């Protein structure tokens, strides 16, 4: 199994050098006291938990999986103790409100911790990840009574949380859901229905599980306009806050999955279960989006995490594995063969993994800063701008980061050759665990349609322009820098092309909506490469600045510039084929009669 080490040096570069997060925190309400020393201490403590507590359980958890019985779901050996240590380290309450037991730390700092946890043990990360999302929804839309009743226990890790959206007949189309909510006594409701694919829906890590459930009131209109959101705990809560009687919430079964086997994916049945409405009647989907957007960025982080873990395993193996001689002569003449890291094709795969991990880390943290501004400066122009940028970048985070993360895990397995296919090395587990990320929290096809249809075309290109204006400002500020010439020139051409593509697709979609659907996935991928190009250009400029100033750590900064050049020269050219496919029209997809698909 690969030995995971938290990439703290690169995290510090992204947070403290590239994005100057200390300046960001200094002007962020509630975060003014955070300094570099405190940031390093928090990340260091999280790294210890990830490396020493969670990573050793990754393979054993995969081998053992979760176990269902009439009494509930048992997690693999060691998970309960690991969860206790995770919570005692303060990692369960980082970004939550202090009034309810949270630490009030910025979302951006919490995201960095999420990466480490998911890279060390992706299955484990699902349990606190779902709880964090549920807490975010209750904080944003719950009543004061809801917050006082549920959040302190959830912050402490004594209770956990889920989101219950999907039903077997509906899938992503939530407008088709059938779960019912009938008014009961004292403003409560009785919830009846069945939900599937509920991550962390049942387990033995916490004393109570707080489900956030989408359901319909008796007089609700059809479709998504008739959905309300309810808090439905596994056990009722007594007046003194203790766990009470059963609330008739049962796990009917758990799924037998390809990966993340130590995460319980449950079929949940609600039988006249007591619930409490969150937000307004028939406005539940809007409330749930608070949780879903947190989850989508978190899913992107998981894609980054699996790619990073695979890169670390592949790099260690490539340095040790002896096979053939270098094409330019022996590099280890004292050994019977050279380590495979000397071969160009292995370098291609390693550098692709490295570039995707570093690009994803920069994008995630950039989004984290926008989330901070949106949450901590409500109503301000700065918050509105940050919200718009988040709307644009969230589907790219979820879609592109999980696509590239999965590509990276496959490359890591490939570097091992035949050994990569063998379970004991741990590389195939990363492939299996990473594959689901492209499917849940809205498939990547849904993310692509959301990006192009709602966020870009729906705004007439204005949402994209907000981001490209920043890119253009960066280009203008570096146009006279000879060391940045190639980066700036290519980036300038891409931004102009990006904006032109929007107008071209918009023109076609005005007469045929299928044109947007046909272009959407390639557009999302194209957008991901351009966003990464911008971030890599920023990273190269910062690294060159540090080298010119003689800041030390010369090898790190040179590698940063090199990786940026690799990305621009080896990965960014993929945009050429994406332009061809996204502009080829809808007819090559929709023109074939359905009956002709048969064989």
Q: What positions carry a catalytic annotation?
A: 441
Helix or strand holding residue 74 (H, E): strand 72-74
Backbone φ, ψ for residue 524 (5° rounding):
-60, -45
Which residues have CB under 8 Å from 515's CB, separation 6+? Answer: 505, 508, 509, 585, 586
Distance of alpha carbon 370 from alpha carbon 393, whole angstroms:
10
Q: Are strands 188-199 and 265-278 parallel, antiparallel or unpaired?
A: antiparallel
Distance of alpha carbon 67 from alpha carbon 59, whole angstroms:
16
Distance of alpha carbon 160 from alpha carbon 106, whole angstroms:
21
Q: Which tokens go with 87?
A: 């919570």
Q: Which tokens go with 548?
A: 């010119």
Which residues have CB under 8 Å from 69's CB, separation 6+? Answer: none
Q: Which tokens go with 100?
A: 């309810």
Distance of alpha carbon 41 from alpha carbon 105, whole angstroms:
13
User: How many other C-beta atoms are found inside a 10 Å radius of the C-beta of residue 320?
Assistant: 10
* 506 burial via Cβ count (<10 Å: 0-12, 13-18, 19+): middle
User: How many other C-beta atoms are found inside a 10 Å radius of the C-beta of residue 27?
Assistant: 12
* Nearest in space to 10 (alpha carbons), one of 416, 449, 539: 539
Backbone φ, ψ for residue 567 (5° rounding):
-60, -45
Q: Determine contact, residues 397/361, Cβ cutoff 8 Å.
A: no
* Nearest in space to 448 (alpha carbons), one of 520, 394, 502: 520
Alpha helix ranges (H) inside 321-343? none
Q: How many CA atoms lie within 13 A of 157 on its CB side?
A: 20
The residues with which 569 forms a beta bridge, in sequence order, are none
Q: Determine contact, residues 3/55, Cβ cutoff 8 Å.
A: yes
């Amino acid at each position: 199994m690969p030995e995971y080490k938290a990439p703290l040096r690169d995290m510090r570069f992204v947070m403290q050098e590239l994005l100057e997060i200390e300046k960001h925190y200094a002007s962020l309400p509630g975060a003014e006291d955070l300094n570099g020393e405190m940031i390093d201490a928090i990340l260091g403590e999280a790294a210890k938990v990830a490396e020493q507590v969670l990573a050793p359980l990754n393979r054993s958890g995969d081998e053992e999986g979760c176990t269902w019985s009439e009494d509930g779901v048992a997690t693999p050996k060691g998970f309960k103790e690991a969860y206790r240590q995770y919570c005692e380290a303060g990692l369960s309450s980082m970004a939550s409100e202090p009034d309810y037991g949270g630490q009030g730390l910025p979302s951006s700092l919490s995201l960095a911790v999420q990466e480490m946890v998911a890279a060390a043990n992706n299955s484990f990360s699902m349990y606190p990840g779902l709880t964090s999302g549920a807490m975010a929804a209750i904080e944003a839309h719950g009543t004061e009574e809801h917050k006082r009743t549920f959040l302190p226990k959830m912050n402490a890790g004594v209770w956990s949380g889920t989101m219950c959206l999907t039903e077997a007949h509906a899938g992503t189309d939530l407008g088709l859901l059938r779960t019912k909510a009938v008014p009961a006594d004292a403003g409560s409701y009785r919830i009846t229905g069945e939900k599937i694919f509920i991550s962390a829906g049942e387990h033995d890590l916490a004393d109570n599980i707080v489900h956030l459930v989408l359901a319909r009131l008796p007089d609700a209109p059809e479709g998504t306009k008739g959905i309300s959101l309810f808090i439905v705990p596994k056990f009722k809560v007594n007046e003194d806050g203790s766990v009470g009687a059963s609330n008739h919430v049962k796990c009917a079964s758990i799924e037998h999955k390809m990966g993340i086997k130590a995460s319980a994916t449950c079929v949940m049945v609600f039988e006249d279960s007591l619930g409490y409405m969150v937000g307004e009647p028939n406005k539940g989907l809007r409330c749930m989006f608070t949780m879903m957007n947190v989850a989508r960025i978190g899913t992107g982080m998981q894609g980054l995490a699996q790619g990073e873990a695979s890169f670390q395993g592949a790099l260690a193996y490539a340095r040790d594995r002896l096979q053939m001689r270098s094409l330019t002569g022996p590099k280890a003449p004292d050994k019977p063969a050279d380590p495979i890291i000397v071969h160009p094709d292995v370098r291609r795969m390693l550098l692709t993994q490295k570039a995707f991990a570093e690009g994803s880390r920069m994008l995630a943290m950039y989004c984290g800063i926008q989330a901070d501004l949106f949450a901590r400066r409500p109503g301000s122009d700065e918050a509105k701008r940050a919200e718009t940028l988040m709307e644009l970048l969230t589907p790219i985070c979820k879609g592109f980061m999980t696509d590239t993360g999965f590509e990276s895990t496959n490359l890591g397995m490939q570097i091992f050759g035949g050994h990569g296919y063998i379970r004991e090395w741990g590389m195939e587990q990363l492939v299996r665990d990473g594959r689901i990320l492209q499917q849940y929290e809205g498939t990547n096809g849904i993310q692509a349609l959301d990006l192009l249809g709602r966020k870009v075309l729906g705004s007439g290109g204005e949402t994209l322009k907000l981001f490209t204006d920043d890119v253009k400002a960066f280009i203008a500020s570096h146009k006279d820098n000879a060391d940045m010439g190639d980066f700036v020139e290519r980036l300038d051409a891409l931004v102009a092309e990006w904006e032109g593509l929007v107008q071209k697709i918009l023109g076609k979609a005005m007469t045929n909506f299928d044109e947007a659907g046909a272009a959407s996935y390639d557009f999302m991928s194209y957008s991901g490469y351009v966003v990464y190009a911008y971030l890599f250009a920023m990273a190269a400029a910062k690294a060159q600045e540090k080298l010119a100033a003689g800041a030390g750590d010369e090898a790190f900064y040179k590698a940063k510039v090199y990786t940026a050049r690799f990305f621009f020269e080896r990965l960014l050219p993929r945009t050429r084929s994406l332009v061809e496919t996204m502009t080829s029209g809808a007819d090559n997809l929709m023109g074939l009669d359905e009956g002709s698909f048969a064989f």
